[in-house]
Amino acid sequence: MTHSARAFHRHAEAVVDHELRRVRGRLALLPAERRLEVEEVSACVAAALVDVVLAEARTEPTLAQALASIYGPERGWEPRAAPCPTD
């Protein structure tokens, strides 16, 4: 998964978490099992929507540019620290 795709997914997760906290009082009226189902379905729907938008961005340059402007451009090679053997 690319950097911007991960960022988009994290953003969607944050929105879902925020909205679930916002409606916590109404959700509390549901049985615990049903409340968990609502939370799980909400997360799945958000993830699926992100996946559809990302798939569409692969064929729509304008959408890809918009996502890059929001979540940053794709990174090229990133240097990483490598262990150095000792003598």
pLDDT in tens, 58-71: 999 999 999 999 99
Q: Look at residue 80 and tell me if it is in a domain.
A: no
Determine contact, residues 27/20, Cβ cutoff 8 Å. yes
Q: Look at residue 83 and tell me if it is in a domain.
A: no
Q: Look at residue 84 and tell me if it is in a domain.
A: no
Q: Look at residue 36 and tell me if it is in a domain.
A: yes
Amino acid identity of residue 48, one-letter, is A
Give the range of the structural domain holding residue 55, as residue numbers without chain letter.
3-71
pTM score: 0.78
Give the whole-angstrom CA distance, residue 3 versus residue 48: 18
Q: Look at residue 51 and tell me if it is in a domain.
A: yes
How many other C-beta atoms are found inside a 10 Å radius of the C-beta of residue 9?
A: 17
Cβ-count burial 22-56 (b if 16+ within 10 Å, e if not): eeeeebeeeeeeebeeeeeebeeebeeebeebbee
Q: What is the pLDDT of residue 26?
A: 95
Q: Look at residue 76 and tell me if it is in a domain.
A: no
Q: What is the pLDDT of residue 78?
A: 58
- Which of the four pLDDT bands, split at 50, 70 and 90, describes residue 74? confident
Q: Look at residue 31 and tell me if it is in a domain.
A: yes
Q: Look at residue 53 and tell me if it is in a domain.
A: yes
- Which of the four pLDDT bands, split at 50, 70 and 90, describes residue 16? very high
- Which of the four pLDDT bands, split at 50, 70 and 90, describes residue 79? low
With a cut of 90, say whether residue 25 has pLDDT above it. yes
Please count the structural domains in the chain: 1
